[in-house]
Chain A
Amino acid sequence: MSLYYVQKLLYQINRDEYALARFNENFDSFLAEYRLTEEEILALRNADIGLLYVMGVNGQILMHFAAMSSFAWDAYLDAMREGIRKHGPVRAGLYATVWS
């Protein structure tokens, strides 16, 4: 699991039109630059918002990827809820934080 790189990729396509164009037009070569697992690559390819949320992608990054993948606001919230139903609780990142 390489949550850091999933989030970094989304951060870059959120803020850089050139990165977004490469994501849309040369998906494989663009993703090859990041250290991602097969599950992560598939989740990004399918814009699987629920799974990305469960993997631990921060909502402040994820909501923009959802919007550019044509999720309306309520559909975005529902996709995350469905992700939890399907894949279980958030696995990593801020939302999985267990405070000592």
Chain B
Amino acid sequence: MSLVFAGVCSHGPGITGRADRADATVRDALYASFDRLRSALEASRPDVLIVVAAEHFANFFMDNMPAFCMGMSDTYVGPIEDPQWLGIPRVEIPGNAALSLQLIESVMTDIDLAYAQEWKFDHGIMVPLHFLTPEYTLPIIPVNINCQGPPLTPLTRCYDFGRALRRACEERAERIAIIGTGGISHWPATPDSGKINEQWDREFLNHFVNNRRDALVAYTDEEIYREAGQGGFEIRTFVAIAGATEHSRGEIWFYEPIPIFAVGATIAVMSIS
């Protein structure tokens, strides 16, 4: 049945860890949008959810940094962070090693993909899962794109990776959902934490939901760093989702700068055509 759902969302650790410090009205509107995303995801009746993430030195470091990596385990754990700090309890999360293997073998024919049989989820995956499968019942297949340690994965390759992932999904009988998760502009965990370039974000999101490949892959790292901070490098996850939904368009369900969460909190979905 292949790909049945595709979307993107933010994952800033403040969304859960500093929830009590946000303006309640805005926070609750974000949470309501996450609920809507969960309902739409559930309505697509997925067998598995692929999370395309931008992890933050939890599993991958500059001693051996993959451009792309996919998990291949029946179980994962998370969060790697202090559960109290993140506001999410530590749990085991089900995976699907057999399906991972099939997808990896297929994607590898187009993209040099690393794989990992061990993976500790950080906030980049746990915050989305906390909202999207709060009982951790849905099997997860994690994917990482190097958005943190330069040299970073080129945007053109991220789009191509999304295409390859889509093709691999189309070959499968399982119903597969996919969520990309990253910031747009933000300066997380730095003295500029809370700074958000709303105009840049809205322009990027416009390119994203209209799936303008050329515009999406035209950003340079220099421009991103200057205009959108190091957190902006995480647009790679959005670009991969655009690649997986090539020729489709999407819809922004939520966008609001929330400085205490250190992101312009975003939720968007792409149609599957």
Contact = CB atoms under 8 A, between A and B. Distances in A.
Interface of A: 4, 7-8, 11, 14-15, 53, 58-64, 67-68, 73, 77, 80-81, 84, 94-95, 97, 99
B150 A62 contact: no
Contact of B82 (A60, A62, A68, A81): A68
B173 interface: no
A77 B148 CA distance: 20
A30 to B, nearest CB: 17
Interface residues of B, number: 26
Interface stretch (B95-103, B188-196, B209-217, B246-254): B188-196
A67 B189 CA distance: 11
| Residue from B56, B80, B222 whose CB has the most chain A CB atoms within 10 Å | B56
B191 A64 contact: no
Contact of B57 (A14, A67, A81, A99): A14
B230 A77 contact: no
B191 A15 contact: no
9 contacts: A14-B57, A58-B148, A59-B188, A59-B193, A60-B57, A60-B148, A68-B82, A80-B191, A94-B230
Nearest to B82: A67
A61 B150 CA distance: 15
A95 B190 contact: yes
Interface stretch (B44-52, B58-66, B162-170): B58-66
Nearest to A64: B81
A23 B230 CA distance: 29
A8 B148 contact: no
Interface string B142-177: 000000101000000000000000000000000000
B136 interface: no
A15 B120 contact: yes
